[in-house]
């Protein structure tokens, strides 16, 4: 079942086409990363889904609601640069957020306790938000987005402004949340998406250029690369491998050769035979897969 189905969504400003007829689905229970460089259209897309800006054309609907119902009741949203009442405590802010959504004070208090515990802020609930670290503020923002028990949690660049410690806190929290909540988050940090997401959507210049299950996309774009490290500089050994039908191209970095191959099992066997035959001082031999960054550079060319 799809929490959100997007069809031909478009946003055009006077001088710029920000999002160009994108179509995709967010499946219930999945964590999806919306990927792309700055200016790709990620924030505009998320803001249209959240109902914060009106699309120029296209549609957004959910299998969980009749088409006449407001989708915003399904969505918890955290913007890229959230604002807080820093004179409030974390607990006060959460109760305030819950009451805004229509919850009773008692219900908001009960939900606040559960959520602050979930995001690791229970011990800081009476501390003023102004004294929170960046990572703590982001975790509070995520808790606020969950206050009304949304079916979909949308996070716009949730870790881009954080230091490494805060970034790790938020990524670990997202990893826990995805077990029970459908998540869409945007990022230009591809390693983060690779770490926690199930599905990916690649945006470039407002266009959806690729999308699907992460593992399927990795399989579709994978390139077999063998890494050979030697005790000495590697350029003197490459002559032994050139001419093999299994090797397509190579790159040398000091004592290491990266060999792009067409049949990894046969290429691996041939390398071992060559290394033994010529007594090559090989100290490391392993395979490498294309990273999400490698794949992204291919699809946007």
Q: How high is the pLDDT of residue 67?
A: 67
Tokens of 109: 């208090």
User: In the chain, where do the E strands start and end?
Assistant: 2-12, 17-27, 31-35, 57-61, 75-78, 152-156, 182-187, 199-204, 207-213, 224-230, 247-253, 256-261, 282-288
Query: Which of the four pLDDT bands, split at 50, 70 and 90, describes residue 294?
Result: confident
Same-domain check for residues 104 and 232:
no
End-of-domain residue from the set 187, 204, 219 = 219
Helix, strand, or coil here: 148? coil
Over residues 158-201, the pLDDT tens digits come to: 988 788 888 899 899 999 898 889 999 999 888 889 899 999 99
CA-to-CA distance for 168 and 140, rounded, in angstroms? Answer: 15
The last residue of a domain, from among 219, 250, 266: 219
Q: Which domain holds residue 235?
A: 223-299
Total number of domains constituting the chain: 2
Examine the domain organization and report whether 22 and 134 are in the same domain: yes
Same-domain pairing of 139 and 250: no
CA dist 54 and 80 (Å) reads 19
Q: What is the pLDDT of residue 68?
A: 57
- How do residues 263-280 score in pLDDT, each as one tens digit? 777 888 888 888 898 888
- CA dihedral in degrees (103, 109, 113, 115; nearest 10)? 20
Residues 180, 230: one domain?
no
Q: Percentage of the chain surpassing pLDDT 70? A: 99
Q: Are residue 15 and residue 67 in the same domain, yes or no?
A: yes
pLDDT (tens digit, 9 = 90+) per residue, 27-72? 999 999 999 988 899 999 999 999 999 999 999 998 887 765 678 8
- Identify the CATH number of the domain in which residue 273 sits: 3.30.70.2470
Instruction: Based on the fold, state whether residues 40 and 168 are members of the same structural domain.
Output: yes
Number of helices (H) and strands (E), helices first, in the chain? 9, 13
The mean predicted confidence, pLDDT, of the chain is: 89
Among residues 185, 219, 253, the one where a domain terminates is: 219
Residues 62, 173, single domain; the answer is yes
CATH value at residue 204: 3.40.50.300
Same structural domain, 271 and 253: yes
Task: State whether 151 and 6 are in the same domain.
Answer: yes
Residues 232 and 156 in one domain: no
């Amino acid at each position: 079942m799809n929490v959100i189905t997007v069809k031909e969504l478009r946003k055009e400003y006077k001088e710029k086409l920000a999002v160009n007829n994108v179509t995709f689905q967010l499946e219930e229970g999945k964590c999806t990363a919306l990927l792309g460089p700055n200016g790709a259209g990620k924030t505009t897309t998320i803001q249209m889904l959240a109902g914060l800006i009106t699309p120029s054309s296209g549609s957004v609907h959910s299998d969980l609601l009749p088409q006449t119902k407001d989708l915003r009741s399904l969505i918890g949203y955290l913007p890229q640069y959230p604002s807080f009442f820093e004179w409030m405590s974390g607990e006060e802010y959460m109760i305030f957020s819950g009451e805004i959504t229509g919850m009773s004070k008692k219900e908001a208090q009960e939900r606040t306790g559960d959520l602050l515990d979930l995001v690791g802020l229970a011990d800081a609930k009476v501390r003023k938000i102004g004294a929170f670290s960046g990572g703590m503020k982001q975790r509070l923002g995520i808790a606020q987005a969950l206050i009304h028990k949304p079916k979909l949690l949308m996070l716009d660049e949730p870790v881009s402004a954080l230091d490494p410690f805060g970034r790790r806190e938020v990524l670990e929290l997202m990893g826990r949340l995805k077990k029970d909540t459908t998540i869409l988050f945007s990022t230009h940090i591809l390693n983060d998406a690779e770490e926690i997401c199930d599905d990916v959507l690649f945006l470039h210049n407002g266009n959806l250029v690729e999308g699907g299950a992460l593992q399927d996309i990795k399989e579709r774009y994978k390139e077999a690369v063998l890494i050979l490290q030697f005790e000495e500089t590697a350029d003197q050994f490459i002559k032994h491998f050139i001419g093999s039908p299994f090797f397509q191209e190579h790159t040398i970095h000091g004592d290491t050769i990266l060999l792009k191959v067409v049949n990894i099992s046969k290429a691996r066997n041939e390398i071992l035979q060559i290394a033994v035959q010529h007594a090559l001082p090989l100290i490391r031999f392993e395979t490498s897969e294309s990273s999400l960054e490698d794949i992204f550079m291919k699809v946007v060319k």
